[in-house]
Amino acid sequence: MSEDNILLNKISEDFRGVTESGDGEAYLRLAGTLEKMESELCGYALKLVLDEMKAVLKKLKNFETLSDEDLTKLKLWIIGDAEYYIKKEHNIEEWNANLKRLIGEIKESWTDHPDAERLLKLKSLAREALGAVADVSFYIKQKESVEKFNAAIKEIGESERVVLVSLLEQKISASRF
C-alpha cells in the first residue's frame, strides 16, 4: 500500500479544500477521492486473501468440512465490513431520537392548507428525516446481515453451502487480478 501515498495526499488535499472553502464542489471532490480509496482498499484486501478464498471455495465445492479457521476467514470476507461497522457505530439511539423529533415537528407543522413557507419547512423536515431513516436503515441491514450469517454457519447444510459458494465466486470474479 505504500505506493498509494499519492491517494493519501489527494485525500489530505481534498479535505483541506473542504475546510478552506466549504463549498459543495470541494465536498464532491473529497467524496470522489474517498470512494476511490474504498475501491482500492477492497481490491488490495482481496489480493491479500485471494488464494485463501479459493482454497475455502474448493473445500465448499468438494463438501469438505470447514475448520474453525476457515469459518473465521469466511466471516471476515463476507460480513467483516458489516461487523466492523456495527461495532464502531454508536449513534443509533441518537438517530432514532432525532427521527422521533423530526416526525413530531412534521406532525406539528402539518396543515390542510399550508402556505409557501410551511411547505418549505415541511420539505426541509422530510429531507432531514430521510437522512435519519437512511442511517438507521443501513445500521439495521448491517446488523441483520451479521445475524443471518452467524445463524447460517452454525450448521452448514446444502442450501448454506450453495449460498457461500455463490458469494465467494462473486467476490473472486470481482477481483481485478
Q: In this structure, what C-alpha cell is assigned to residue 176?
A: 481485478
Q: Count Cα neighbours of 27 within 13 Å in the Cβ-side half-sphere.
A: 3
Phi, psi (rounded to 5 degrees) for 89 = -85, 125
Amino acid at position 128, single letter: E
**Whether the model pTM is above 0.75:** yes
pLDDT of residue 108: 96
**Alpha-carbon dihedral 110, 116, 121, 125, rounded to 10 degrees:** 70
Q: CA-to-CA distance for 142 and 149, rounded, in angstroms?
A: 11
Domain ranges of the chain: 50-173
pLDDT of residue 4: 66
pLDDT of residue 174: 74
* Ranges of the chain whose pLDDT falls below 70: 1-4, 175-177
